[in-house]
Structure formats: C-alpha cells, structure tokens
Structure 1
Amino acid sequence: MNRIPHRIPLLAAAAFALAACAGHGVRKGQEAPMFAAERVTEHRDGDDLLSAGLGLGGLRSPAPPAFADPERPTPAELRRRAVWSNWRGIADLAPGGGYGELYGSVAAVPGREYAALATVPGARQPHRVLVQVPDGFDLGKRCVVVAASSGSRGVYGAIAVAGAWGLPKGCAVAYTDKGAGTDYFDLDAGLGVTADGRIAAPGAMPLAFAPDAPAGAAGRRGIAFKHAHSQDNPEADWGRHVRQAAQYALHALDRAFPQAAPFTFADTRVIAVGISNGGGAVLRAAELEGDWLDAAVAGEPNVYVEGEGGRALYDYATEAALLMPCALLRVPGLPQPPATAQMAPLWTRHCAALKAAGLVEGGDAAAQAASAHARLKASGWRDEALRAGAATVGFDMWRAVTVAYASAYGRYTAGAHPCGHGYAALDPKGAARAATAAERAAWWADASGIPPGNGIGLVERTPGDAFAGLQCLRALWQGEGEDARRVRRGVAETRAAPPRAGLPVVVIHGDDDGLIPPAFSSAPYVRRAQAAGREVRYWQVHNAQHFDAFLGLPDYGARYVPLLPYVYAALDRVEAHLERGAPLPADAIVDTVPRGAGRPLQAANLALPAR
C-alpha cells in the first residue's frame, strides 16, 4: 500500500507519480515511484551545477557563503552553502592534496536541476531526489550517474563523488539522500524544512520530514531528524531509494529534452556510485532485479553480509564505542588530532570505568588498555584500523552513530529512544535550550545528517554519564528484552545479497579504514559475491582511511592517500567496459606511497592499478 505523507496533497502526488512512470521501463514486480513537490531551477551566469559558482577557490574558503539575512536565507543561498558544505565534508580540497590538478574536477558546468520528494511504498517519510542535467548533456550517449549520499548527508552529499565525474562528461547525475539527510525538525517550535530548504510549519508547505511528536506536556522537546526518527529504518530501503532516483532521472530528462523523449532504461545507460553509506546503498541497489542498472562502483561501503567474517555496523560500532578509547592507549603513533596528550587522561578514566563494569582486566591503565586491545584484536580489528579510528573516538563519532542507528533500526519516534538519548540545542553548560531562528535556518545547508554538530548536542538520560549510555547501546545488540530484539530485527533488514547476475561491480576500500573496516564489510561481501559467480572486482588500497576530508590536516595528509581517485578510476574502467567492451579491471592490492610531511601529492603516490 502506498502511504503518502499527510503534508503532500494527494491529487498532486498521484498525478506526478503517473507522469513519472510513463515510458520509464518499470518492469512487472517493481514498485511504481511516487514523487511530489517538484522544483526546477537553472544554474548559469556565475552559478553552475558542480560548485554553485564557487569554483575551487570558493570551495577551499574556510568561511561558508554568507546569507544576506541569517534568519531567512533564500533557496539559492541555501543551495550554494549546501554545495560548499558537502564538498568540504567529502573531498580533500587543500592545496597540495591534488584535487582539481592531479585528479577530480570542479569545472563550471551550467545546466538545470530537477528536485522532488520521493516515497517508497510503505514508508512514512519521503527521501529527496535531485537530478542535475548539464546543458552539454550528450543526447547521443544518454548516460545517467545515480548516487546516494555518504553518511547521513543531505541530497548534495555525493556531489564530489558522482557530480565531479559525471557532469563534465555530459551525463546527467541523480542523487538521493536515501531517507536520511539534513531535514531537521524543531520540536519546540513545531518547524521543519521545506522542499527548497527553508523553514516552515507543517501544512504551510510540503515538508521533507514531519515526525510524530512525542506524547507529553507541551514545552521544550528538542530536535528530531529523519534518519533517526522517521520510523522507517531507511537503511533497509537504500537500494530502492537509489532505483527511485534513477527513475526520477528519466522523468527529468523527458522534461529537459522533450524532442528526444521518452528516455527509458532500455536506451539510457545508468551507472550507480557511492562511498561509505552511499556505497552500501549502491550495493543494495545492485541486488535488485531488472535490467535498469548497467554497472555499480562502491567505495568503502557500509555493507552487511552474514558469514565470511561480516559484521553489522551496529555490532562493531557499539563494541568500538566501549573498548576503543581504552585500547588506543596501547596503540603507538596515533594521527593528530585528536591530540594524544589531551585525550590520554580521558581514555585512562574510561579504562577504569571498563574495569569497574567487568569489561576489561588489569590493575592499572596499561594492563586495562592491553586487555581492551586484545579483545578488539580477537574480534577482527587490525591495528591499522584502530590507529585511524582514533579520529572516530576523538570526535565522538561512535556514540553519535550508535545512538542514531539504534533509533532508526528500532523504528523509534522522537522522545522514545530505548537508552533515553535525545537531541537538543545546548547552552554553554550543556543544558537543553530552544534553538534560534538563525540556527534553524542553517541546519539544512550546514549539517551532516547526524548530530552532534551545528549547535545540536546529544542529551543523555543521566547527564554526565555517557558510559552508562554506551553500555545500554551495546546491550541492544548483545542483550535480551523487546528493545534489543526490536533493534536486531531492524539490523537484519539491512543484510545484503550478491548483485544481479551479469552486473559489473567494482568495490574499492582503504585497508586502514577505521570507521567501516573492510574486514567486516567489503571483504566478506566480495567473497560472497565472487563465490556466487558474480562480476565483482575488488581494489584494496593501502594507506587509505575513511575520510578524505581529514587529509587537509597535515598529519593525515602525510600518512594517508585519498580514496576518491580510485573511485573515479573505477568509473573510468567501467565506462570503457560498457562503451567499448574493454575488460573489467582485475582485483588489485594497491601499494601506495604516502607523500610525507610538507610534500604535494603526486601520481606515483597513488599507484593507480594499470589494468
């Protein structure tokens, strides 16, 4: 049954869905897409699709593009700032890092954007879809690159991955926020985010996310966001989100080039690409039946298969949240930041808390760290991943991820988190307060999709006792009770299957990834897929960790190479295979050479596979 959110007019949504389905090659057994709140904008003359007119210099600027009125930015201002924010959150744009010179492009690409809200059947909330159609779209080539945002980012969250490769080649690029994104809702003020990024109340305009408000007395209740509070477990539908974005791309091309319509999956090449959560979404799309997809490239994918050493993100993230702060005292040569000297006292106290809880052994911090380290190594963690994972610990990402994902997997509404966590704007003492109009106005453009950040913090059931919260989150994986079973059911819904037979797939992963270790994710997936006879190739990149954006920090840039060049190279190889019948790339272990301190990145550092 198609459930249309109450804030979208029924007749408009139904009419748009019929138009969207026409001529798009939707096969029997595939759900018809549902689109609403469509917008079309043009981007030329000082604006463009790829950098919103900022160019490489503007994207490198540490100051975001300003709003003329901070409380009421225009849709154009919000878009420019979202493009700036998402480029900087994904790519290493620092001078010497090689972007725009050694690899990648920020060419000015004029064109149009088609945006809408799409809803998969059975979902309570929509996901955003957006299609960029360059003026130089090659009607003879008819190509679409479809991408899902990394992490929980908004709809521009894959622009540095898919847009940078596809738009300069004359391809349309389709994006989805895959049911996550930055459509935050202020429960105190009763305000959410509209289709064009502005702030409004439910009913005034279509909202991209309007949660069920928690029961209880009126007053301050904090912030809700779509990934955690949609009650949809969006990760279970990541593949369908990607396919709907591809379907919307065909509709957008029909509108952009009516003289060449209809565009169908039979005559339009579709390549899917994504990194991190976006890479996992691409692999889930690859398993869907039908010949709508021609190839897929997945970088550092968050993908879960049972067996072959595969582990669910929620499993190893809650394990890391508890044990890694202590274990890092045992790992030498951690990258900076976080500053080891400042973190060591905090990690020492964490070791003591683990010992008191019976989770590690030892009479002092050194012995306790050795115990925590041994437990992580026994469960499959490598020292390379632990070393790179210091950033995840230092920036408190394990807690941020596990709190939000527990809510998503259990399909909990705002205010119903099983471990008592919530989100609110915080004052300097860490107490919840009402958000300001200026803060709300910037959330859609600036946020990464999962707080803390942008003035929003995590609220614990017992203020100041984060350790108890981590124990509760881990118990949702290991323990009994209805909440634990509810969360584990949600995790089970995210299990991946091998891709469709005959579909070319290239998976790329950094060996030093400390957030999504390949031993738990891509390596088991590839083994399972290759054993099933699928056309899957695997590049394992030495000296690559999870966050290219961190390479702007000198110590990270000296130690690690970026992953994006390998994603672009894999796209080149896949395109050559589809266009000219060139062989798919071979499996490769890429022996990179870190550039060292104060040196610019060179091609020799990357050692891109020759075939």
Structure 2
Amino acid sequence: MTLNTFFRSALRLSALTALTTAMAACASGPRSPEDEKTGTRVRESMMFSADRATMHRDGDDLLTAGLGLAGLRSLAPPPFADPTAPTAAELRRRAIWSNWRGIADLAPGGGYGELYGSTATVPGREFSAFATVPGAHQPHRVLVQVPDAFDRKRRCLLVAPSSGSRGVYGAIAVAGAWGLPKGCAVAYTDKGTGTDYFDLDTRSGARADGTVGADAAGGLAFAPAASAGASGVAFKHAHSQDNPEADWGTHVHQAAAFALQALDRAFPADAPFTFDNTRIIAVGISNGGGAVLRAAEQDGDWLDAVVAGEPSVLVDGAGSRALYDYTTEAALLMPCALLTMENLPQPPLQAQARAGWIQRCASLRDAGVIEGADTDAQARDARARLHAQGWTDEALRAGALSVGFDLWRAVAITYASAYGRYGVGEHPCGYRWSMLAADGTPRAATAAERAAWWSDASGIPPGAGVGIVDEIAKVDPAAIRLHCLRDLWRGASADAERVRRGVAETRAGLPRAGLPVTVIHGVDDGLIPMAFTSAPYVAKARAAGRDVRFWQVRNAQHFDAFLGLPDYGARYLPMLPYVYAALDRTLAALEGEGAMPVDAVVQTVPRAGKPLTAEHLAMPAAR
C-alpha cells in the first residue's frame, strides 16, 4: 500500500494519546507486553472487556455465516436446535441473516449479488468486546471481522456503525459486503444502541456471545437499574441513561482502535497495526451515516476518508432540523396530510388506513393543531403545515411507509427516553415496553422469546415480539400521547428542557480539514429527509472550506429492504449500489489510482417492475 508517509503526523499520535488517557479511568490492570512493545499507543485493555475471538471457516464464513445468497433470501430464519437455549453460533448465524434482510434488497430481480454487491464466502476470524466511553453507564459492542485473505501490505480497514438501533452486525450488508471480499478488515459498533434487551421480570439479558444470562451472575451487555417491582422489557438505546448519540463519534473511534488490536493479534509478525500505517475509511448509513460524520470531526489525523449514506445529522445551519423535531411532527400530522395525496405506495393500503387517518384529522382539529370544517380541508391544512416546515411531496409520499408501520411513534418514544437520559419506568409520556398478548395487554416473555431477542430484534421495538405499551383507551389513542411527545420539543416543561438539552448534545461539527467526505442521499427519503439533514450539513461544511462531495439520488427513499415489496421496487432504486461505488472510488483515490467522487444529481430510471439494470441506476461517471 502506498502511503503519503508511513508516519503521517504527530497529530495522530496526540489524538490517540488523548483518547487513551481519557480511558485511563476505566483501567482494570497493568499494560500488557504488547503495550510496551508498540510504545506508540496505550492498548485497548484499558477500555475493552469481555474480549472474545472465534474462527469462521468450513461452512461458517464471515459474510453470510455459511448461508450464501440463497440462505439469506430464505423467508424462514436459520433454526435453533433448542429454541429455549440456542448456541452462540446459532445466534450469530441468525443475527447475520436478520441484519442482511433488514438492510439489503435481496429479492430476485433487485440486482443484489448480480449487478452489485457480494455474498462471497469469506473465511476468517472475529474479535469482539464491550467498549466503554468514560462516564457512561453502559458499554457498546465492538466486533472486528478479519478475513484470512486480509492484505497485510495494503492494510485496509473499514469502520462501520450500525444503522438505526440495530445490533453489532447491523452494518454487515453495508461494510462487510464491500470490504471483506476485497481483503479489508471490518470493524463494527452498535454505538450504544443494539439488541441487548433486558427482561425486567427475570432480571436477565444478553451476554457477550448473545446467549441469555442472569443479571446476578454479571457479564451482561446491558443491565439497567430498575426497581424490584419493574416488569416488561428494557433496552439499551432507551434505558442506558447515557444519550448514546452524543458519543457516536467516539464509538466509531473506539471501534477503530479495537480493530488495530485485533489485527495485531491476528498477524503478530506484522504488528504493530497503527492509525499511521493502516488505511481507515468510516462508512455508515442512516444514523450510522450520522455517526461517521460525527467521527469525521474527532481530533487527530486518524481517519483517511468518510462515506455517509442517507445520514441522520443535525447542524447549526439553515434548514437543518433535529430528528426528534420532524419525527414527532410527522407522527402527528402525516396520517392526516396523506389523505390529500394520490398514488401512494402500497403498503399501507390506503383504503384500509383511511378511517384511522380521518380520525386523526378530527382529533388534530379538536386539539387546535389544524383547521378545517371537514376532512378534506383538515387534510389540506395538515399538508400545508408540513410543506411550510420543509417537507417535500416526495418525502411525504415515501413517508407513508413510516406511517403504515408506526415507525414515527416508535422512533419518537425511544429517542425521547434516550435524549432525556430517562431510566426504566421514567418515560415522561408514560410509555413502556413489554411482550404483548393478543389483546394488546402486557405479558411475561417465555424462555424461547428471550433467547431470540438478541438475534431477531432490529433495535427499536416493536419487533421480535416486544411492543409498545400504551394503555390509554380513547378515540385515536395514539394521538393522546403523541401530543405529549411533541410537547417535549415545543414545550416549556422541565422534561422538555431535558430532552432538548439531550438533542443539543448530538449537534455535529465540521469534518477535519482535508478529510475527504462523500455524502449520498435519496431525494425521496421519507424517514430522514435530505432537506433537513444532508443538504444543510454539506452546505455548512463547504462554507467552511471542507472537502465534502454530494450525490443526490432521484427516485430513492430510505429503506432498500422494502424494495422487495412490488410497489416500492417499481418506484424506487436501492441506495447500497451508490454507497459501494463511492467506496470503490474513495479507496482507489486514496491509493493513487483514481479520483474521488464528484458532485452529482443522479437521474435514475424507475424499474417499473423489471429486473434492475445499470441503466436504471445511472451511476455517476467516474473521473
């Protein structure tokens, strides 16, 4: 690998020294012999615990856990021999299956594995641990995949935070699929969110290997403080009391540091692997994209490039809006506003949803939020109010998916708890989580249900059987507490000030001067609208002279995984091909073999039910 200089800058050393000095409070023992050997950085034993190493060969590889494309496409998850006590290997395989299916469009005709992407068999080793941010109540997970074919001369490392609230394998379809077949190592972090659910009734949760253990025995990935009578389910993103989003840049940095340690262990004859002699690219999508942009502002010359897809990011700048602001706004107004729009994608089935949306219009009018003498007038007013706040019709149309799957409410409830650093039983709007009976009432989890949470959950409930408990039984019951959630952004209460203070802690700064950053966003994104996130970030960074490039992809929304639904696949293009292409060009440019991506408004062509082709993608030309 060609580097500008083998030891690039004293800045890298000073940045790492600052990081590891801050970690000293977490030290549990003396420096190891490797610490003394390298001398250039304090080793990660000071910030990591529950270290594990496993081999994955002979039918159990890094990228698909031996499932291959056919196995990933299977509608049935990989089975557990004993559903009440799955092995760590079974849980890993199922978590990889779940996370692939939650991120990528694997449906036949969608192009994955044929036109773009890879599900190649990649044998190698995994190294994992819990990582601790100084002052945090709970750890985050880090995991490094080192392929047997790792190029020790090229020394390529991707660092990938999970999207949404997914577990530590949440970015495998983003970074692993691109990097592992190329001989790069990949480091992941769940960035303090993840699927480490905790059963309050039995005081049990997920251990380092994903299996269920008792709180009393210790060693859990997440063990919240809770009263003796607490019941239901707690999860790290909502109940860690850490506001993990405030530390997402540090989480990415720690994952990179752990990866260097893992590479030293994997290839001791070639050690040390350092920030100076290893090419490091951070890549993420959704709020994982926001996390890598937060990493880009970290002190020191430790990153070589950043690729952020559809990032959830907040800046000081015109048009930028906080996730919590526009999510609670959409949760309230969008069901009503959609009544004015024709040709909505299915699902949701508008004919079936219409009655509930009409009800929402009426409740909003009664609350004085919108005006109008009849449903049509109320819906027009709701839509006009969203337009006035920056919502485009493209974002509203794609946002119908989030209405249909109740995502706005689910996101708002979790983030309210996280931003306010509320513990178990403290949600300011009275929400909690539990397994639900057929009639919607809370019930205890079974052993088999608890065992599958770590592998099957996508992070924020509802999912894996865990649901939102809202016991208010009135007309349009969701709206009653949605007003409470919205008032945490607009109101003057102590709780509102607490939540807004947490949001302020997540505001992004500028990327390091000279760091190449590529931002990619779908113009039709209805969950994280480009106008509120990427566009203001790019404008602010460029105004400060930073090296930021921007791909705006037409006819692309937020969720590749939903393109398997025929109507969505006909209308929208996947985002992953553009992330992979940006990574291709970024690595080539860093190695002196090509140019970085250049700005583009990508004029895609919808598939209209046909198999995906290069013509549909209209990939920006390389220069």
Q: TM-score, normalised by structure 1?
A: 0.96
Distance 1:207 1:325, change over 3 A: same
Deviation digits for residues 38-89 of structure 1 (CA, Å, limit 9, x no counterpart): 1100000011000000000000000000000000000000000000000000
Q: Is 1:96 aligned to 2:106, yes or no?
A: no
- Whole-angstrom CA distance in 2 between matches of 1:277 and 1:150: 5
The verdict on how the C-alpha distance between 1:55 and 1:135 changes in structure 2, with shifts beyond 3 A counting, is same
2:86 maps to 1:40 = no
The answer on whether the counterparts of 2:318 and 2:536 sit within 8 Å (CA) in structure 1 is: yes
**AA at the equivalent of 1:190:** R
Q: 1:240 aligns with which of 250, 265, 269?
A: 250
Would the aligned equivalents of 2:23 and 2:47 in 1 still touch at CA under 8 Å?
Answer: no
Q: 2:393 aligns with which of 383, 386, 405?
A: 383
Amino acid at match of 1:278: G
User: Structure 2 residue aligned with 1:303, among 297, 308, 313?
Assistant: 313
* Offset at residue 583 of structure 1 (A): 2.5
Spell out the pairing of 1:81-480 with structure 2 (5 A cutoff). Answer: 81-213=94-226, 215=227, 218=229, 221-460=231-470, 462-463=472-473, 465-480=477-492
Q: Distance in 1 between matches of 2:39 and 2:317?
A: 37
Matched, 1:533 2:545: yes
Q: Secondary structure at the match of 2:217?
A: coil
Please, which of 63, 77, 80 is the counterpart of residue 67 of structure 1? 80
Please, which moves more after superposition, 203-212 or 45-54? Answer: 203-212
Letter in 2 for 1:490: G
CA contact (8 A) 2:35 2:41 kept: no
Mapped partners of 2:487, 2:32: distance in 1: 43
1:504-557 CA distances to partner (integer Å, 9 max, x unpaired)?
100000000000000000000000001111110000000000000000000000
The one-letter amino acid of 2:516's match is: P
Q: 1:563: Cα distance to partner?
A: 0.3
Residue in 1 that maps onto 2:586: 574
How far apart are 1:4 and its partner, in Å? 11
CA distance in 1, matches of 2:339, 2:38: 60
How far the C-alpha of 1:203 sits from its partner, in A, is 3.8
1:357–1:17 CA distance, 2 compared to 1 (3 A): farther
In 2: Cα distance, 1:24 partner to 1:314 partner: 44
CA gap of 1:579–1:525, structure 2 versus 1, over 3 A, is same
Is 1:102–1:603's contact at 8 Å kept on the other side of the alignment? Answer: yes
Answer yes or no: is 1:550 the counterpart of 2:562.
Answer: yes
Determine if the alignment matches structure 1 residue 560 to structure 2 residue 572. Answer: yes
Amino acid at match of 2:559: F
Do 1:31 and 1:121's aligned partners in 2 also have CA atoms closer than 8 Å? Answer: no
Gaps (5+ residues) in structure 2?
A: 1-20
- Whether the aligned pair in 1 keeps the contact of 2:521 and 2:552 (CA below 8 Å) is yes
Q: Which position in structure 2 is the counterpart of 1:600?
A: 611
Structure 1 residues 38 and 57, CA gap change in structure 2 (3 angstroms): same
In 1, are the aligned partners of 2:29 and 2:46 still within 8 Å (CA)?
no
Q: What residue number does 2:91 align with?
A: 78
Kindly state the Cα deviation for residue 291 of structure 1 after the two structures are TM-superposed. 1.1
Between the aligned partners of 2:275 and 2:333, the Cα distance in structure 1 is 48
Tell me the equivalent position of 1:486. 498
Question: Conserved in 2, the CA contact under 8 Å of 1:4 and 1:124?
Answer: no
Question: 1:518 — aligned with what?
Answer: 530
User: Distance in 1 between the 2:90 and 2:217 partners?
Assistant: 21
CA contact (8 A) 2:142 2:190 kept: yes
| Alpha-carbon offset, residue 20 of structure 1 | 7.4
- Relative distance call for 1:529 and 1:126 in structure 2 (3 A) is same
Structure 1 residues 296 and 20: CA distance shift in structure 2, 3 A? farther
Alignment correspondent of 2:10 = none
Given that 1:222 and 1:432 are in contact with CA atoms closer than 8 Å, whether structure 2 keeps it comes out as yes
The answer to whether the Cα contact below 8 Å between 2:263 and 2:273 also exists between their aligned partners in 1 is yes
Q: Is the 8 A contact 2:24 2:46 kept in 1?
A: no
Distance in 1 between the 2:338 and 2:36 partners? Answer: 53
Question: How far apart in 2 are the matches of 1:204 and 1:555?
Answer: 49
What TM-score does the superposition give when structure 2 sets the normalisation length?
A: 0.94
- Counterpart amino acid of 2:369? L
Residue 331 of structure 1 and its aligned partner are, at CA, apart by 1.4
- In the alignment, the residues of structure 2 paired with residue 147 and residue 585 of structure 1 have an alpha-carbon distance, to the nearest angstrom, of 20
Letter matched to residue 554 of structure 1: P
State the distance in 1 between where 2:225 and 2:279 align.
40
Deviation at 1:14, TM superposition (A): 3.9
Letter of the structure 2 residue corresponding to residue 606 of structure 1: L
Letter in 2 for 1:143: C
Q: Any conservation in 2 of the 1:424–1:432 contact (CA below 8 Å)?
A: yes
The reply on whether 1:508 has 2:520 as its aligned counterpart is yes
**2:11 alignment counterpart:** none
Stretch moving more, 228-237 or 358-367: 358-367
What secondary structure is seen at the aligned counterpart in 1 of 2:591? helix
Cα-to-partner distance string for 1:358-392 (whole Å, 9 max, x where unaligned):
11111111111000000000000000000000000
Counterpart of 2:6 in structure 1 is none
C-alpha change, 1:33 and 1:373, in structure 2 (3 Å) is farther
Alignment deviations for residues 258-288 of structure 1 (CA, whole Å, 9 cap, x no partner): 0001100110000000000100000000000
CA separation of 1:17/1:431 partners in 2, compared to 1, >3 Å: closer, same or farther? farther
Q: More deviation in 201-210 or 242-251?
A: 201-210
Is the 2:162–2:191 contact (alpha carbons within 8 Å) kept by the matching residues of 1?
A: yes
Cα offsets for 1:558-605 (capped at 9, x unmatched): 0000000000000011001100153322110000000102x1000000
Cα drift, residue 461 of structure 1: 5.3
In the TM superposition, what is the alpha-carbon distance from 1:22 to its structure 2 partner?
A: 7.2
Contact kept, 8 Å, 2:23 with 2:46, in 1: the verdict is: no
Whether the 8 Å CA contact 2:242–2:418 is kept in 1: the answer is yes
- Structure-2 change in CA distance of 1:17 and 1:207 (3 Å): farther
Q: Deviations over 1:387-433 (max 9, x none)?
A: 00000000000000000000000000010000000001110011111
CA distance in 2 between partners of 1:556 and 1:311 (Å): 27
How far, CA to CA, are the matches of 2:188 and 2:382 in structure 1?
A: 41
Change (3 A) 1:387 1:33: farther
Q: The residue matched to 2:215 in structure 1 has which SS?
A: coil
Q: Contact (CA 8 Å) 2:151, 2:184: kept in 1 or not?
A: yes
SS of the residue aligned with 2:386?
Answer: helix
Q: Secondary structure at the match of 2:521?
A: strand
**Conserved? CA contact 1:152–1:177, under 8 Å:** yes
Q: Partner of 1:51 in structure 2?
A: 64
Which of residues 487, 495, 508 in structure 2 aligns to 1:496? 508
RMSD after superposition = 1.9
Shift of 1:18: 9.1
